[in-house]
Structure formats: structure tokens, C-alpha cells
Amino acid sequence: MPKSILIVDDEVNTTLLLAKLLQKQGYHVLTAFNYAAAVSQLKRPVDLVLTDYRLGNATGGHLLQYINQHQPDVLVVMMTGYPDVKLAVELARNGVHDYLVKPLNTAELIECIENALTEPEAEAEYHYVAPIKARPMVTGISAISKAIQRHIELIASTRCNVVIQGASGTGKEHMARSIHQQSDRSEMPFVAVDCGTLSLELAPSQLFGHEAGAFTGADTLKVGYFEIANGGTLFLDEIGNLSYDVQALLLRVIQEQKLKRVGSIKEHSIDVRIIVASNRDLRSAVKVGTLREDLYYRLNELTVETPLLSQRTEDIRLFANSFLEEANAETGRSIAGFDDDVIDLFEGYEWPGNIRELRNMVRRAALLATGKYITLKELPSDIIAAQLLKHGDEQEVLTVLKAEKMLQFLKGGRYTHELGHILTVLKNTNYNRTRTANLLNINRKTLYNRLRKACA
């Protein structure tokens, strides 16, 4: 009977890619996209849980605690995007079998799982394996990317705190890592914290740590993110989500470079560089009173803004190839690249989700691809249709619609029935717009508007 593995990750594409990979290895695979779903899946027996450390409003640590209490025989392998030795040691002490750093090395992951599931019970013990080195970060080749790299080099050479602003998915954490890796702190920890996931009550404990007995449920001493990042860099994403009280504590720690764990009277000296990020204008947050002005000025010693992906078109091919290489490594596939039509669409699309959207689209396409190259048929049809209607005038759009290969994609749009009917009439009239509009009992402008609506 095959061994069963539960994969827990709030990134749906990552979960599906891993599930496909492990199913190919002969394992029975279950999936969950959050803590609650994972607990529900654990009502049935599993041999191993492969979980991400970040799970939205919970963490892999919470899931590990649940497993230790209810199913202590289940092995846990933790995945994280943040290679931090102290975090790894803490997880190992709490019973994690192995600790792997994303992006995952496929061979290493398979070996890790095979070793865990074939290890004799008498010899089995929890151990810590040094994290795999993260993949090198790809930098752009466009003028704006080169300017950003020069800016990062200058910032990295200082010890100043930094504010990074930019739209969601533009690579703020990527930039923070670049600053850290090019600084004299590069050999020390880089710890990333999503302030939006910190619970209101436990945020001081998570950031600054707590002593055993500090509050109900605090059974052991806990080291907070500041101490874990000591000597290195602490990246606080979406800083504006912290409560006003926690902001006051944060300001004191940054100013004095000393902290007290919750429940302690003893101060600990720390040396941490702070980089914060937000997709909202922090100056506006100060004006409306959700961010302390004194904290903002303490953090805002240097500022850098991440550009939209649509502003760096020259980088899109480079980023797409990097994400494809990553997807190939995770799935064991060997997709060679992209069809020229795909690259043309990528370079003309607005990318409202920016780099994150591009990464997700490439990973999804890699999962669906059946040939050597990713083609238009692996991309969402509504994006293809919307792109056609956005960039061409009516004559150009209807000319493009003549291509049979595009009709099948357009028929997959959101308003399938109406769109299919319009396309059928268009085809039957040899794409004569006037006759098509007459047969549909509408004018030509309405015809075009309905096409736009159907494909938006």
C-alpha cells in the first residue's frame, strides 16, 4: 500500500505542482491550502505532512503543535522561503523531521521524503538538515532595473533603515533580500515577517519573544523575530497592519536597539537592520492616524519604490524563463521555453498582479503543457481575449478573430454562450460586421461592445 503524504501550502499552484511530482513517485497525496483544511484532512491517517511555514493566518508551527498533540507518529517536513538557522533549530526541537528552503530542489525533496518514510522506527529520530541554499535572484536588464540595482548597491552599503513601497507583487521582498545580500550583514540571518498575519494579541510575543509563564499557553521560552534576526536584517512586510500599541513597542526597540521579552524585566541588546514594505502610501497612513509619525520617520531613513512589471517590459522574458526553470525543477519536467506568441502576449499584457502574477501564470502553464514549449493554449483564455480587444481597433480585432486558433480560446471567455453565438454568426457571414450586426438585430457599435464585454 503506498505511503500517504499531506501537502499543506496556501499557494495553490505550488501545492498542485508538488502533488503531481509526488504522485509520480508512487505516493498517495492529499492536499490542503490552509491550517483548517489541513486539520480536517488529518482526520484520516497519513504518514507524512509536507507543509509550508506560512499558512495565511496560521503557521506551520501551529500545525506542528496540533500534530504533536493529536498524531505524534506523523512525520513533518517543513518548507519555508526563508533560510534561517535559528528558526530551523527551533522547529527541529519541536519535532520537525526535516526543514527545506524554497524554491525546492526536486531531487533533494524526493530524497528527504524517501529517507523519512523508509527510516527504521528503531533508528528514527528528529534531526536538523542544513537548509538548501536559495536560488540566485534574477535581476532585470531594462534601464529601470539597472537603475534600481545601482540604488540597491548604494543602500546596501549603509546601515540605514529602509522603506520599500510598491504595488502588490512587484517584488518588495525580493528587493529587501537583495539589499541584505549585498550588505555587510549577508552572512547573518534575513528574517521576513508578514505583519498582516501577526495576531493582535500575540504580535508582541512573536516579534520580541516571551518568557515561560508570561501568559496562558506560554509553557516555554520563545525567541522572537528580532532576536532571530540579530546581526542581520528584519523585513517587516505591510508594516501598516500593526496595531498602534505594537508600533509604540517597535519604535522603542528600534531607537534603543534593546528589547524585553514579554513577561521579562531583563533587556537584551540587539543589532538589527529594519526594512519595511507596504503597498499603500505610508505618508497617507500617517495622515489618517493608522501609522505613528515618529515610527515612520525612524524607519524612513532611505526610500525605494518597486516599479510595475508593465514598466519593465524588457525584463519579462528573463523573469518568465527563470520561473519556468523553477517550475521544471519542482516537477522534474524539461519544458524548453515559450512560443513566440506567448512572449508577445506577456510583453503586451498589463500584469495587474505584477511579477507574482507572471510567476503563477508560468507555473500553471508549465503544469498544463503537453509539448516542448508553452503555447497560447496553456494560458487563460480571458487574458488572451482581453488583450486582443484592448490593443486593436474594431477592424484589427475582427481580423484577428478570423484566425481559427483564436476562436477556441475566445470561446472559453467568461460569457461563453453569448460569445459563442456571436462568433458563430461572424464566421457564417465570413466576418462581415454589418451583416453580423443585422442578423443579431444590433448595430455595429453594440456588436463590438458585446465582444469587449464577453472577453473582459
Shared domain for 189 and 299, answered yes or no, is yes
Task: Give yes or no: residues 300 and 337 share one domain.
Answer: no
Q: Is 9 among the domain residues?
A: yes
pLDDT higher at 447 or 286 = 286
Residues 283 and 320 in one domain: no
Report the SS3 class of residue 74: coil
Cis peptide bond prior to 103, omega within 30° of 0: yes
Percent of the chain with pLDDT over 90: 40
Assess whether 255 and 381 both reside in one domain: no
Whether 97 and 201 map to the same domain: the answer is no
Residue 242: CATH number of its domain: 3.40.50.300
CATH code of 440's domain: 1.10.8.60
In this structure, are 58 and 196 located in the same domain? no
Q: What is the pLDDT of residue 177?
A: 92
In a domain, 233, yes or no: yes
Whether residues 323 and 377 share a domain: the answer is yes
The tally of domains found in the chain comes to 3
| Boundary (domain end) residue, out of 288, 307, 326 | 307
Split at pLDDT 50, 70, 90, the class of 419 is low
Residue for cell digits 492616524? 289
Indicate if 151 and 241 belong to the same structural domain. yes
Asked whether residue 160 falls in the same domain as residue 295, the answer is yes
Q: Which residues pair with 194 in a beta bridge?
A: 237
* Beta strand residue intervals within 9-66, DSSP E: 28-32, 48-52, 54-55, 58-59
> Which residue's C-alpha cell is 520580541?
208
Q: Are residues 156 and 259 in the same domain?
A: yes
Q: Which of 227, 221, 198 is nearest to 86 (CA)?
A: 227
For residue 194, what are the contacts with CB-CB under 8 A and spacing of at least 6? Answer: 54, 237, 238
The confidence score (pLDDT) of residue 130 equals: 35
Q: Which helix (H) or strand (E) holds 320?
A: helix 316-331
Q: Are residues 45 and 101 in the same domain?
A: yes
Report d(CA 173, CA 178) in Å as an integer. Answer: 9
Q: Span 194-217, mean pLDDT?
A: 85
Q: Grid coordinates representing 51?
A: 507543509
275-316 pLDDT, tens digit per residue, is 999 988 899 999 999 999 999 999 999 999 999 999 999 999
Handedness of CA 193, 198, 200, 201 (dihedral sign): negative
Task: Provide the pLDDT for residue 382.
Answer: 57
> Where residue 150 falls among pLDDT bands split at 50, 70, 90?
very high
Q: What integer pLDDT is reported at residue 133 of this predicted model?
A: 41
**What CATH number corresponds to the domain at position 14?**
3.40.50.2300
- Domain membership of residue 123 (yes or no) is no
Residue 105's pLDDT is: 77
Inter-axis angle of helices 316-331 and 106-118, nearest 10: 20
> What are the strands, taking DSSP E only, across 158-254?
162-165, 190-194, 233-237
Beta pairing class for 273-278 and 302-305: unpaired
Residues 407-424 have a mean pLDDT of 55
**What amino acid is encoded at 455 in this protein?**
C
Q: How far apart are CA 51 and CA 63, in angstroms?
A: 8
* C-beta atoms surrounding 58 within 10 Å: 19
Rounded to whole angstroms, how far apart are CA atoms 209 and 188?
19
DSSP 313: G
CA angle 340, 344, 347 (to 5 degrees): 135
Q: What is the dihedral of CA 94, 80, 179, 166, to 10 degrees?
A: -120
| pLDDT tens, position by position, 103-127 | 777 878 888 898 888 754 433 333 3
Task: Write down which residue in 249, 275, 307 finishes a domain.
Answer: 307
Residue 424, domain extent: 315-455
Residue 125 lies in a domain: no
Can you read off the three cell numbers belonging to residue 258?
534593546
pLDDT at 385 over 70: no
β-strands 162-165, 273-278 pairing: parallel
Are 240 and 285 in contact, with CB atoms under 8 Å apart? yes
For residues 201 and 302, state if they share a domain. yes
- pTM here? 0.62
Q: Which residue has the cell 476562436?
A: 407
Q: Are 91 and 231 in contact (CB under 8 A)?
A: no
pLDDT band at 453 (very low <50, low <70, confident <90, very high): low
